[in-house]
Every structure is written in C-alpha cells, then in structure tokens.
Amino acid sequence: MADTHAPATGVTPADPHAISHEDAHHIAKHRNGYLMVGGLLLLFTAITVWLSYVDFGSQNANIVVAMIVATFKASLVAAIFMHLKGERPTIWRFLFFTAIFVAGLFLLTWLHEADPITGTLKAVR
C-alpha cells in the first residue's frame, strides 16, 4: 500500500497516485489467488448440487453434508475475498463475539424446540 507509512494523522500522503513496483507485483499475484478461489467456489457449487441427489441414508444426513460443503465455501469467501486471512486482531475480536451471539440465538431457538427445561411442550403436542 502506498500510504502504509504515512503519518498517523490521517492526512493523505503527498502523492496519492504513487505506487511501488513491489506493491503492484504483490497485488497481481493475489489476483491469481482470487481467480482460483472463484473457480473452486463454482466447482463446489456443482458438487453441492450433485451431493443433494446422492442418498446418504436419511434426509438429515444429506443436510449435514450440504452444510459442511456450504461452510467450507463460506470460509473461502471470508478468508480470501474478504481478506480475513491476515486481517487485524480487532476484526477477529468482533467476529469472535458475533459467533458467540449467533450461537446464543440458535440456542434460544433450540430451547424452544426441544424444551429441555420444563419438559411441558410434549404434553401439548
């Protein structure tokens, strides 16, 4: 980046158009990575579709398999396209707490569905 070493005042560097040869080379290399990830995502989309027609024994087993593939695809998008790989700890901290809160959200729904605390839901069903 041209302005990595700029003074920490937020003022733009003297020549905002400047870019080092090294940076350009660095980004050009990254572009190949983006293309490869894009190709992988398309490939895994096809695999997801194909797997949904394979019988894994039960509908639930098929759901688990599809979710594993989807999670893998989502991780690729987050790590490479969204630059999470090598991102600052501040952002990882945000995401860590978000993950906990989402898990809490799903837990609340599960408590409603399974009713493990009062055990009275079965009686009315």
Partner 1 sequence: MEIPYNVSARPDTGLYNAKLGIWLFLASEVMLFGGLFSAYVFLRLGAEPGYWPHGLLNVPVGTFNTAVLIISSVTVVFAWAALKMRQFFQYKLFMAITILCGVLFLVIKLAYEWPDKFNHFGIFISKGAAAEYEKYLGNEHLAELRHAPRYEISGHLLDAPKGSPYEEVARKNAEHFRHELHEKGIHAEHEPVVQTDDPNDYVIQLDAANAEAHTPEGIKEGSKPHFWPRERSMETAVIKAADVDSASTFAPRHSSYFSSYFLITGLHGLHVLGGIIVFVYFWLPISGGANLYKRNPEHLANRVEVAGLFWHFVDLVWIFVFPIFYLL
Instruction: Please give the residue ranges that form the binding site for partner 1 (CB under 8 A).
Output: 1-4, 6-13, 16-17, 19, 23-24, 27-28, 30-31, 34-35, 37-38, 41-42, 45-46, 48-49, 52-53, 59, 62-63, 66-67, 69-70, 73-74, 77-78, 81-82, 88, 90-91, 94-95, 97-98, 101-102, 105-106, 108-110, 112-113
Task: Compare residues 85 and 108 and give the one whose CB is closer to partner 1.
Answer: 108
CB of 37 to partner 1, least distance (A): 8
Burial of 56 (0-12, 13-18, 19+ CB in 10 A): middle
CA 125 vs CA 112, 115, 119: distances in Å: 13, 12, 11
Largest alpha-carbon pair distance within the chain? 73
CA distance 75 to 36: 14
CB of 123 to partner 1, least distance (A): 16
CB of 72 to partner 1, least distance (A): 10
